[in-house]
Structure 1
Amino acid sequence: MKAQSYSYPLDPEWTVAEMTTVIDFFRAVEDAYEGGVQRQHLLKCYRQFQTVVGSKMREKQLGRQFASQSGYQFYPVVKQAMNSEQKILKMVGD
């Protein structure tokens, strides 16, 4: 497991609950790269993340910020989760 030495891209206008929702999604993405994550858990976190973020444009902005800080891209993880029947998702690579 990588030692985390970056911060999550968060909006200071979000409530604590909203920040927690976004962080939960980012952690699920990290888990997919670092060892595996339950597919259903990741999809649930993503749906909740979408309700907080509110728009595709903002989602893409946060995705770029998260990728630049962590090295993890969430779009491939979400895409695999949506197109797969696997119970555990495990990303290979970078």
Structure 2
Amino acid sequence: MKPNYQYPLEPDWSTADMVAVTTFYSLVEDAYEKGVDRDNFLAAYRAFKQVVPDQMTEKRLGREFEQVSGYSLYHVVKAARAGAGQRIRLGGVRHD
């Protein structure tokens, strides 16, 4: 993880929306750093999609998150959807 970066958030989101999105971002980081439970990750992704339902905004936030963190939302979501195992771990591979 790159030190001291801010998650990309929208100023018009409610506190609950920000919590849902930051929880999702945190699980993306964990998927790279130590692994996460697949079901928990997919539940957090569903909550994220309640806040960010359109694909264009999701892609923009994903690019912004990857620029500041080095971690790809897309790759973790793809692994979670394709994975048969209970844990997701991207092996520390960063997409800088």
What interval of TM-score do these two structures reach, taking the shorter chain for normalisation? over 0.9
Deviation at 1:85, TM superposition (A): 1.3
Normalising by the residue count of structure 2, what TM-score does the alignment of the two structures yield?
0.92
Deviation at 1:3, TM superposition (A): 6.1
Q: Is the 8 A contact 2:2 2:70 kept in 1?
A: no
Deviation at 1:4, TM superposition (A): 3.7
Structure 1: distance between partners of 2:51 and 2:40: 17
Corresponding position of 1:53: 52
Give the 3 Å change call, closer, same or farther, for CA 74–37 of structure 1 in structure 2.
same
Amino acid at match of 2:4: S
Unaligned runs of 5+ in 2: none
Amino acid at match of 2:9: L
Corresponding position of 2:17: 18
Note if 1:87 corresponds to 2:80: no
Structure 2: distance between partners of 1:23 and 1:70: 13
Normalising by the residue count of structure 1, what TM-score does the alignment of the two structures yield?
0.94
Q: Is the 8 A contact 2:32 2:71 kept in 1?
A: yes
Aligned length: 93
Structure 2: distance between partners of 1:78 and 1:5: 24
Give CA-to-partner distance per residue, 1:3-32, whole Å, 9 cap, x none: 641000000100000000000000000000
Structure 1: distance between partners of 2:82 and 2:57: 23
Unaligned runs of 5+ in 1: none
Segments of 4+ moved more than 6 angstroms: none
Structure 2: distance between partners of 1:63 and 1:79: 13
